[in-house]
Amino acid sequence: MATTAPSTAIDNTEAAGLQKPEIRQDGKPATQGPTPLLMRLRFLLRVYSMKLTVSLFLRLMRIAAIITRRTANLPTYTKRYAIRPSLSNRVFIPKSHVPGTTHPLLIMIHAGGFAICDPSLDDFFNRAMADQHGFVVVSVNYRKAPSHPFPVPVHDCAEITRAVLSDGELPVDLARQASLSLGGFSAGGNLALAIAQLPGIKERVGSIVTVYPVVDFTGKFKGPYRPTPDGKEDRLKEMGPVFNWAYIPVGQDLADPLLSPICVRGREALPHRIFFVGAEYDYLCHEAEIMAKRLAFSEDSKDKVEELGDEWEKDGIKWKNVKGVVHGWTHLPEKGEKEILKQNQLKNLYKEIAEWLKEE
């Protein structure tokens, strides 16, 4: 049985050289502090070099798929909604769809530290959820930091999600809450938990699935960095502070639940059913598990702080810690036998997520 990481915060922000948040008299972080000029310039260069590299890579991958006719994972079509006409969203209809029938709806939000990537990043997952598990999947886009920091991505995702939930062209039953779900990887998981608190979404969505999400920017619930047994550093140790700088404006309240969903005020602020998926060698795993426990158990419940194991479910909240994997493992290619093992893991995880989302 795995041991629980210490509940005390690890000051990863300070270790990375970032300015610490301003501190209130009660000792809790209040607002995002400034970053030294030279570090800001270095972070700016890192972010935009990554933007260029990742954007070019994803574009080349899409072109290559069309040229080589490896189009199995591509969306059925793309769509722009009038509320955000500059943002293109990807729609996946099950290939087995029969006109006149409806499917459960899954609205997905992609990863990328709030600053890089686009919805095509999740094509393989979205197509699998459509063709193998019968979901209509809409992968929504949002404007990226640092040009568009918090709360712009939150409101972009919220507005597009509301538009999707009113889109009569989709073959889904929009009146059936249990069949409407949100999901996201990493930063996308954070955004899913954020927009699920907002009017027009909270009362419409029945379930959320969030995979290795970031849920705490206050530092109060941060766990330690988690290197792998072979000595590889936690993947977020270097890039986490860069993404945080890009996304969070100076002076921002770090306990705003739209930024740090772990600070949500009461269980009723979110949909009842939430599936948290963590990765063993990911320092975000600790905060995600703490949030799951805070939602599942009352404040005075001893069970909340006791070891519950790597998988548990209580009162609509499900937790799963995938062992032996790092942050972003679902999207990272492996070689040989490792890739075969990963694909089997993904197949089983997708099946588990799909079956859970379909539960009433």
Which residues have C-beta within 8 Å of that of residue 44, sequence separation ≥ 6?
146
Give dist(CA 288, CA 262) in Å, integer: 8
Domain spans, the chain: 32-358
Give this prediction's pTM: 0.90
Going residue by residue through the chain (360 aa), what tens digit of pLDDT does each one get?
Answer: 333 333 333 344 443 333 444 545 455 557 999 999 999 999 999 999 999 999 999 888 888 878 877 788 999 999 999 999 999 999 999 999 999 999 999 999 999 999 999 999 999 999 999 999 999 999 999 999 999 999 999 999 999 999 999 999 999 999 999 999 999 999 999 999 999 999 999 999 999 999 999 999 999 998 888 888 888 888 888 889 999 999 999 999 999 999 999 999 889 999 999 999 999 999 999 999 999 999 999 766 655 556 788 999 999 999 999 999 999 999 999 999 999 999 999 999 999 999 999 997
Q: How far is CA 218 from CA 29, 191, 305, in A?
A: 6, 16, 20
Q: In what order do the strands lie in the sheet with 136-140?
A: 77-79, 89-92, 136-140, 105-109, 180-185, 207-211, 273-281, 317-326, 311-314
* Neighbouring-strand partners of residue 260: none
Largest CA distance in the chain: 61
Q: Residue 314 in 3-state DSSP?
A: strand
Sign (positive or negative) of CA dihedral 64, 109, 124, 226: positive
Q: Are strands 317-326 and 273-281 parallel, antiparallel or unpaired?
A: parallel
Give dist(CA 319, CA 236) in Å, integer: 21
Topology (CATH) of 32-358 = Rossmann fold (3.40.50)
Q: Are strands 207-211 and 273-281 parallel, antiparallel or unpaired?
A: parallel
